[in-house]
A and B are shown apart, each in its own frame.
Chain A
Amino acid sequence: GAVVSQHPSWVICKSGTSVKIECRSLDFQATTMFWYRQFPKQSLMLMATSNEGSKATYEQGVEKDKFLINHASLTLSTLTVTSAHPEDSSFYICSARVLAGGTKQSHEQFFGPGTRLTVL
């Protein structure tokens, strides 16, 4: 249980294009989903927190107009990198927190496999 999927697993795009990354919780409902980015040999940096049906909360320094987050349902969140540039190339990882009251601890976060974005 507690499987989170991401699609696509890797994407290469031209500078100026937009890229959408999907994050799905496959076998549980997630109250909250998180989006992280990770640069090579560095730790995960939280970009934003999204709750189903409400606007995402962005971390300081993260441009909300550039990284659009939509949390359409309790099992799906999307991150759109708009007008991507080479400096946006990174490993993007989502995680999902379990809906409280289930069999899993409500504070545990389960991570997707990540999406590697390369902007040329």
Chain B
Amino acid sequence: QKEVEQDPGPLSVPEGAIVSLNCTYSNSAFQYFMWYRQYSRKGPELLMYTYSSGNKEDGRFTAQVDKSSKYISLFIRDSQPSDSATYLCAMSVWEKLTFGTGTRLTIIP
């Protein structure tokens, strides 16, 4: 069993829809949780960073962490075609990140 599970997709939604991306994990020692966005042939870009259970909002993005269920989510409101990318969840005990496989998202105009 992988430490971090993420549905690879692909996921296609119409422009303006709410997108929900999820990851589950098995290592209860993880305490830092991140979401990265990666465009094709580019490095990952940090979107959200959390270290506690609950919600964190930044513009159209909301990150949710449920440590009791070992489940994290990223919600994108009012999705735009420019949001089309691969979204990677990542988590760590300290500094070493463990990534999910990434979900490929396409926003259809």
User: Bound pair: A and B?
Assistant: yes
Contact B49 A105 (CB under 8 A): yes
Contact A111 B44 (CB under 8 A): yes
Of all chain A residues, the one with the shortest Cβ separation from B89 is: A43
Contact A109 B101 (CB under 8 A): no
Contact B43 A107 (CB under 8 A): no
Interface size on B, residues (CB 8 A): 22
Which residue in B41, B88, B97, B101 is a CB contact (below 8 Å) of A116? B41
Within 8 A of B (CB), among A61-108: 91, 93, 95, 97, 105, 107-108
Among B34, B36, B45, B46, max chain A CB count under 10 A is at B46
Docked Cα-Cα span, A42 to B102, in Å, equals 8
Contact A32 B95 (CB under 8 A): yes
Of all chain B residues, the one with the shortest Cβ separation from A107 is: B32
Given A107-B94, A108-B49, A109-B46: A44 and B88 interface contact (C-beta under 8 Å): yes
Given A43-B88, A43-B100, A49-B95: A108 and B43 interface contact (C-beta under 8 Å): no
Main secondary structure of the interface of A (DSSP, over half): strand
Contact A93 B44 (CB under 8 A): yes
Q: Tell me if B42 is interfacial: C-beta within 8 Å of chain A.
A: yes
Interface size on A, residues (CB 8 A): 25
Q: Tell me if B60 is interfacial: C-beta within 8 Å of chain A.
A: no
Docked Cα-Cα span, A4 to B41, in Å, equals 16
- Beyond A107-B49, A109-B46, A113-B43, list 18 extra A-B contacts (CB 8 Å): A4-B43, A41-B8, A44-B88, A44-B97, A46-B96, A91-B41, A107-B32, A107-B51, A108-B34, A108-B49, A109-B95, A109-B97, A111-B36, A111-B44, A111-B45, A111-B46, A114-B42, A116-B41
Interface CB pairs A-B, < 8 A, 17 = A2-B46, A34-B96, A42-B101, A43-B102, A44-B88, A46-B96, A49-B96, A91-B41, A93-B44, A107-B95, A109-B34, A109-B95, A109-B97, A110-B46, A111-B36, A114-B42, A114-B43
**Closest CB pairs A-B (n = 8):** A111-B43, A43-B99, A113-B43, A114-B43, A43-B101, A111-B44, A44-B99, A107-B32
Give chain A's interface residues, CB within 8 Å of chain B: 2, 4, 6, 32, 34, 41-44, 46, 49, 91, 93, 95, 97, 105, 107-114, 116
